[in-house]
Structure 1
Amino acid sequence: MKTSPYGAIAFRPDARRLTVSAPSGELTVWDTSDPSRPRPAGRLRTGRGIVAAAWNPSATDLLATVSNDGSGALWRLRDDSAPEGVARWAALPDRPRHVGWVAGGSWVFSMTGTGRTSVWDVGSGACVGRADLTGGRPVVGAHYRGSEVVAVTDSGWARLWRPGRRPSEWVRLTDRPVSACTWSSTMLVVGDLDGQAACFDAEFRPVHTLRVARERPRALACADDGRLVASAGDNQAVAVGRDGSVQWETYLRPPGAQSITIAGDLVALSAGRPRPTLLALATGAELAGGRS
């Protein structure tokens, strides 16, 4: 997930709830069960402002957030009731940029933009471990593989860490600077400054390379089955098939999009507006625009 002034964008796996952050530090929850008319469904705030959020992959009513003061929080967001704060912890000593789930949703991790990471057990509230994954190298994306946290740097390297062990050896993904990256259930995709995207399987073996933009992609998202990669450049969203063919191109109102995510058959984009833009994954047609 990318972060920006309106950057903590996260789609629930069933595509019925979406969270979008605001410069005020509030996180707005949107009901997207009717994609043509998304409705605000609650607002969250904690720890001097929320900067990133992630839905639990197995317990779909649980949302993890991290805030400017380094704290993490867990929220229960049922469709038929107001958001409920479940837990809060002092995740990191400085500002995090990434949050996600590990071990099938039993643990939650927080990571700074320079790779300092902590992992917490949701059930007990105990800290599972802390590590410096990148030695200060800037992190473009953070995700998980089973019980391992994965960090991808802007210089094209990846590193894994399983709490309780030392971080793994570095994995070289690309010799090009990385501007954006994304994961699906089957694939890791890293985009470079020239609009090329290198795709890897779960073992970080190269699968193929695609052109996803004419220039540096601001953000990337991948459909869960890996068939489609979408990139948001300046005022355009482009979807590309696994064979490299362009599936669709959609013009976006300025300032375009800094964040993009996919769930189900929907694409959600966020830029300099509090309201998200929703597109149909199959066609790129705009279902709900980003007008304030």
Structure 2
Amino acid sequence: MRTSPYRAMAFRRDARRLTVSAPNGELAVWDTSDPERPRRAGRLRLGRGIVAAAWNPAVEDMLATASIDGTGAVWRLRDDRPPQLFVSWAALPDRPRHVGWVAGGSWVYVMTGDGRTSVWDVGSGACVGLADLSGGRPVLAAHYRGDEVVIVTESGWARAWHPKRRPGEWVRLTGKPVSACTWSSTLLVAAGVDGQATCFDADFRSVQALRVARERPRALACSEDGRLVASCGDTWAVAVDRSGTVRWETTLNTMSVRSIDIAGDLIAVCGPQPRPTLLALTTGAELAV
């Protein structure tokens, strides 16, 4: 997600843990098992500060992070124990912007904002691949598709890369700049500055158009089944279903919201402060401030 101040926020799939970066470089871990009373459950720091985080899609207590100095790391965050650094490595010589998992959660990619990427095997510690994926185009978002890393640029292009092969061909998603995008298990949703969005399948084919907001969305999140897309701006959040129907709109007490994520039946939003705000997925009701 873009715009400043950037907040690395990652919601675990079971909605019981949420990580949010702080201005001092720490990554705060929140216990959200009681969404009306979230509490601090730990804090992580590595290198010159953590700027991106992503939960493993297969092992729920493993978290990948990337730090300002280019350090990549994997942590074990068991619910009943203090956070444990599992492994770390010098992933990139420059500041990363994105981190994530590929190959079923056995490889980790670390990427700069202009697409320079390294992929590492967590088990062996070996570098699986290195590539410049965007040719200098600013990367808005990165994700995975099986064993491939997928990027979406701010100018509306997408590209997939298997770390053991050459980067794939560029795909033109839209002729307009992309303000925010998100993924579900089956969809990529890319929204423009006017709040109009397009849904794409795994092969980057357009399958549906939606209006996700009345104005420029700062960030998007999609439910795992792809049935609901939520977006946020400075002081608002809205959710629409796949028919384009607005399910709810809410004004947020949190100011300057920059990040949004969905897990289970909860939505987390975050602004300049590391403390998250939690919303009910079905109603948008604010559960904790």
Settle same-fold status: TM greater than 0.5. yes
Contact preservation (8 Å) 2:20, 2:27: yes
The 1:240/1:108 distance shift into structure 2, 3 A limit, reads same
1:122 matched to 2:101: no
Amino acid at match of 1:26: E
**Residue of structure 2 in register with 1:211 after alignment:** 211
Unaligned runs of 5+ in 2: none
Paired residue secondary structure (1:164): coil
Query: Deviations along 1:119-152, whole A, 9 cap, x unmatched?
Result: 0001001100000000010000000000000010
The 1:7/1:93 distance shift into structure 2, 3 A limit, reads same
**Residue of structure 2 in register with 1:242 after alignment:** 242
User: Structure 1 residue 114: deviation in Å?
Assistant: 0.3
**Residue of structure 1 in register with 2:260 after alignment:** 260
In the alignment, the residues of structure 2 paired with residue 216 and residue 140 of structure 1 have an alpha-carbon distance, to the nearest angstrom, of 15
Contact preservation (8 Å) 1:114, 1:136: yes
**Residue of structure 2 in register with 1:96 after alignment:** 96
User: Structure 1 residue 2: deviation in Å?
Assistant: 5.4
User: Structure 1 residue 254: deviation in Å?
Assistant: 4.8
In the alignment, the residues of structure 2 paired with residue 6 and residue 252 of structure 1 have an alpha-carbon distance, to the nearest angstrom, of 18
Contact preservation (8 Å) 2:234, 2:258: no
In the alignment, the residues of structure 1 paired with residue 38 and residue 97 of structure 2 have an alpha-carbon distance, to the nearest angstrom, of 26
The 1:165/1:69 distance shift into structure 2, 3 A limit, reads same
Paired residue secondary structure (2:287): strand
In the alignment, the residues of structure 1 paired with residue 164 and residue 20 of structure 2 have an alpha-carbon distance, to the nearest angstrom, of 33
In the alignment, the residues of structure 2 paired with residue 235 and residue 61 of structure 1 have an alpha-carbon distance, to the nearest angstrom, of 32
The 1:72/1:4 distance shift into structure 2, 3 A limit, reads farther
In the alignment, the residues of structure 2 paired with residue 45 and residue 13 of structure 1 have an alpha-carbon distance, to the nearest angstrom, of 23
Amino acid at match of 2:239: A
Amino acid at match of 1:179: S
Q: How does 1:152-191 map to 2 (within 5 A)?
A: 152-191=152-191
Contact preservation (8 Å) 2:254, 2:277: no
**Residue of structure 2 in register with 1:229 after alignment:** 229
Amino acid at match of 1:246: V
**Residue of structure 2 in register with 1:141 after alignment:** 141
Query: Deviations along 1:24-70, whole A, 9 cap, x unmatched?
Result: 00000000000000010000000100000000011111000000001
In the alignment, the residues of structure 1 paired with residue 56 and residue 4 of structure 2 have an alpha-carbon distance, to the nearest angstrom, of 22
In the alignment, the residues of structure 2 paired with residue 180 and residue 142 of structure 1 have an alpha-carbon distance, to the nearest angstrom, of 11
Unaligned runs of 5+ in 1: none
In the alignment, the residues of structure 2 paired with residue 2 and residue 248 of structure 1 have an alpha-carbon distance, to the nearest angstrom, of 24
Paired residue secondary structure (1:104): helix
Contact preservation (8 Å) 2:219, 2:259: yes
Paired residue secondary structure (1:82): coil
In the alignment, the residues of structure 2 paired with residue 274 and residue 258 of structure 1 have an alpha-carbon distance, to the nearest angstrom, of 11
User: Structure 1 residue 253: deviation in Å?
Assistant: 2.2
1:26 matched to 2:21: no
User: Structure 1 residue 19: deviation in Å?
Assistant: 0.1
User: Structure 1 residue 245: deviation in Å?
Assistant: 0.5
What's the TM-score once normalised by structure 1's chain length? Answer: 0.97
Query: Deviations along 1:78-108, whole A, 9 cap, x unmatched?
Result: 0000000011101111000000000000100
User: Structure 1 residue 202: deviation in Å?
Assistant: 1.0
In the alignment, the residues of structure 1 paired with residue 153 and residue 95 of structure 2 have an alpha-carbon distance, to the nearest angstrom, of 17
Percent sequence identity is 74
Amino acid at match of 1:76: R
1:108 matched to 2:108: yes
**Residue of structure 2 in register with 1:150 after alignment:** 150
Contact preservation (8 Å) 2:254, 2:270: no
The 1:85/1:3 distance shift into structure 2, 3 A limit, reads farther
Contact preservation (8 Å) 2:18, 2:31: yes
Contact preservation (8 Å) 1:229, 1:239: yes
User: Structure 1 residue 4: deviation in Å?
Assistant: 4.8
Contact preservation (8 Å) 2:266, 2:280: yes
